[in-house]
Amino acid sequence: GSLYSFNLEDSKIDWFLNLNQSLDLGLGNLFYSKPLIIFKDKLIISSLTHLYILNSLNGSTVTKISLNSSTKPIISSNYLFTITADNLLICLNINDGKIIYSINLDDKIAKFTNTKKESISVKSLFLVNSDLYLFLKNSYLTKISTNGEVIEINKMPTDLRTNPIFINGSILYIN
């Protein structure tokens, strides 16, 4: 849970931040996070318990939000998109940390398909041509606009076992 900014020119630490709030070093208190994201002068860290937006120049906290992301956050313009463990699609402004919207994906998908609400299981989240692509564990692809509206839902021909590659209007993946 310790984050260091190390200056390569003079080999000194610019700043240090301890994100683990406990002094207990047991296995239950290990710090887990998604891969770090750098966007302009911001550093985004999505841990099991919080989403941090830090100033990458000095380590100061721009915002700290209590949420458990199930996917690596995605950035488009000055907006961050992530999906929580309880299937909320969250959009927030990176500059001030304010939540723009929070949408229950279970409700949204059930309404779009005109079916009974069921809990979905999101495998991965991507930004493709300004839309959010949610790959579900049941081999469905859900396309959602960045304003949170479901555009379409399609069954993939096979199970997705790798991260997809998007090229020339096609999705390439290995099953």
What is the rounded CA–CA span in Å between residue 83 and residue 48?
Answer: 12
CB atoms inside a 10 Å sphere around CB 78: 13
- Tell me which of 2 and 80 has the higher pLDDT: 80
User: For 37-87, what is each residue's pLDDT tens digit?
Assistant: 889 999 888 887 888 899 989 989 899 898 888 888 999 989 999 999 899
Confidence (pTM): 0.82
Mean pLDDT of 135-151: 93
164: CB partners within 8 A, 6+ apart:
124, 126, 135, 171, 172, 173
157: CB partners within 8 A, 6+ apart:
none
Specify the pLDDT at position 26: 57
